[in-house]
């Protein structure tokens, strides 16, 4: 079926990251598979760990052009110990994407997808072609584009799952950080539609204005002088005892737990030297701040801080309930779950220094889309 370009990330034993475009055979589908011509794949923060790793991107060098572009960047020695499992293993990148089914296996389920615009999840989407099980793809609504469907798994399902976790664990309201992101905007729309109180933590006035513009009621700016007071008051009013934190490092998780504790004690009728009996939970699901997470321990003893990932949660709730979440994404693809992109990049453009610097910033509200077949 010919060859296809695929973006690869390689950590060399010499302590260097190498990004390149590799020519691979276009997959031949098995009976229950389809081959998708990828026309859109987002660069999510979760992709950057594999794509860039701990490399010093500021010292990156680029050679070649077009399909022969190669990026190299040094990896500080102290970070190489954590790279052992992937050293000298050239790895494809990209968690999700969308495109047209151009080939299908013999099964009726696969054949029915020929010519359909679909979304896929599971890695290696920064490639011109990708095979997938017919049962695993999501058929996009009629008229939807690859750009509209490219981000329909990670962010939408994460946002929906946050509300699902809230309900399953007995909480009634949420706190979310980096709340002006594409994911954060989706979460606001979900909570507004479902009647869930949501406290949004942002990092500047522009982000606050953006969220209020789509109907958010509780928005607090972590850079404002009155941040702690405003956060505590919002938590007190909403009763939020569950937070999802995309920042990860620094003091923010601790500040959220402290505000929850103060809010709980405002309603307490009996003093306890062990703190309130209200259980408070922060799930860290991102690492926009790579510093250690600092906990002040001034929020009693009824609390938890844990990591959280989408895929294990979907496995935990089972195929039927996960399917319901996916069905809602498909139904609201152009409304609740619409994504907006700062720029669309070809594979070669994604390896240019200015592009790498832009998406490596992980700036809230900025999102980049790779179209592996752009210009082809």
Q: Which domains does the chain have, with CATH numbers?
A: 3-151+339-370 (3.90.180.10), 154-312 (3.40.50.720)
The pair of three-digit structure tokens given for residue 267, joined into one six-digit string: 């309603």
The CA–CA distances, whole Å, from 334 to 142, 145, 186, 252 equal 11, 10, 11, 33
Share of the chain above pLDDT 70, in %: 100
pLDDT in tens, 303-340: 999 999 999 999 999 999 999 999 999 999 999 999 88
Q: What does the radius of gyration of the chain's CA atoms come to, in whole angstroms?
A: 22
pLDDT in tens, 8-60: 999 999 999 999 999 999 999 999 999 999 999 999 988 999 999 999 999 99
pLDDT of residue 1: 67
Determine the average pLDDT of the residues in 100-118: 97
Give dist(CA 147, CA 226) in Å, integer.
40
Checking DSSP bridges between strand 61-63 and strand 70-74, what pairing results, if any?
Answer: antiparallel
Determine the average pLDDT of the residues in 202-208: 95
Which residues are CB-neighbours of 314 under 8 A, at least 6 positions away? Answer: 157, 161, 322, 325
Three-class secondary structure of residue 70 per DSSP: strand
Determine the average pLDDT of the residues in 225-240: 98
Give dist(CA 237, CA 244) in Å, integer.
18
Q: Is residue 79's pLDDT more than 70?
A: yes
Q: Is residue 376's pLDDT more than 80?
A: no
Helices (H) and strands (E) in the chain, counts: 11, 20
The mean predicted confidence, pLDDT, of the chain is 95
Q: Is residue 171's pLDDT more than 70?
A: yes
Report residue 172 CA to chain centroid gap. 24
DSSP code at position 301:
S
Q: Is residue 270's pLDDT more than 90?
A: no
Centre a 10 Å sphere on the Cβ of residue 21 and count the other Cβ atoms it contains. Answer: 22
* Structural contact between residues 280 and 299, judged by C-beta atoms closer than 8 angstroms: yes
């Amino acid at each position: 079926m010919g060859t296809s370009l695929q973006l690869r990330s390689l950590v060399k034993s010499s302590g260097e990251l190498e990004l390149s475009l590799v020519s691979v055979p276009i997959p031949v589908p098995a009976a229950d598979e389809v081959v998708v011509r990828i026309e859109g794949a987002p660069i999510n923060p979760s992709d950057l760990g594999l794509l860039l790793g701990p490399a010093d991107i500021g010292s990156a060098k680029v050679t070649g052009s077009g399909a022969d572009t190669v990026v190299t960047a040094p990896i500080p020695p102290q970070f190489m110990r954590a790279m052992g499992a992937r050293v000298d293993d050239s790895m494809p990148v990209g968690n999700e994407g969308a495109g047209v089914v151009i080939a299908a296996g013999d099964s009726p389920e696969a054949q029915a997808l020929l010519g359909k615009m679909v979304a896929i999840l599971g890695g290696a989407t920064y490639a011109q072609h990708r095979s997938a099980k017919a049962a695993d793809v999501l058929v996009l609504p009629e008229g939807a584009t690859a750009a509209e469907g490219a981000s329909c798994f990670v962010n939408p399902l994460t946002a929906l799952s946050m509300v699902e976790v809230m309900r399953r664990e007995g909480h009634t309201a949420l706190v979310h950080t980096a709340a002006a992101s594409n994911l954060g905007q989706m979460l606001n729309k979900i909570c507004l539609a479902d009647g869930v109180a949501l406290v949004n933590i942002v990092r500047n006035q522009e982000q606050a204005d953006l969220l209020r513009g789509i109907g958010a009621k509780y928005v607090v700016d972590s850079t404002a002088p009155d941040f702690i007071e405003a956060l505590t008051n919002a938590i007190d009013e909403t009763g939020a005892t569950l937070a999802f934190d995309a920042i990860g490092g620094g003091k923010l998780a601790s500040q959220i737990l402290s505000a929850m504790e103060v809010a709980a004690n405002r309603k307490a009728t009996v003093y306890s030297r062990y703190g309130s009996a209200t259980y408070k939970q922060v799930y860290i699901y991102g690492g926009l701040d790579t510093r250690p997470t600092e906990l002040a321990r001034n929020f009693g003893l009824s609390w938890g801080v844990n990591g959280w990932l989408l895929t294990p949660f979907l496995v935990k709730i089972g195929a039927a309930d996960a399917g319901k979440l996916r069905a809602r994404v498909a139904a609201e693809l152009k409304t609740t779950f619409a994504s907006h992109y700062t720029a669309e990049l070809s594979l070669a453009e994604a390896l240019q220094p200015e592009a790498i610097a832009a998406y490596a910033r992980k700036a809230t509200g900025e999102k980049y889309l790779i179209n592996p077949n752009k210009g082809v």
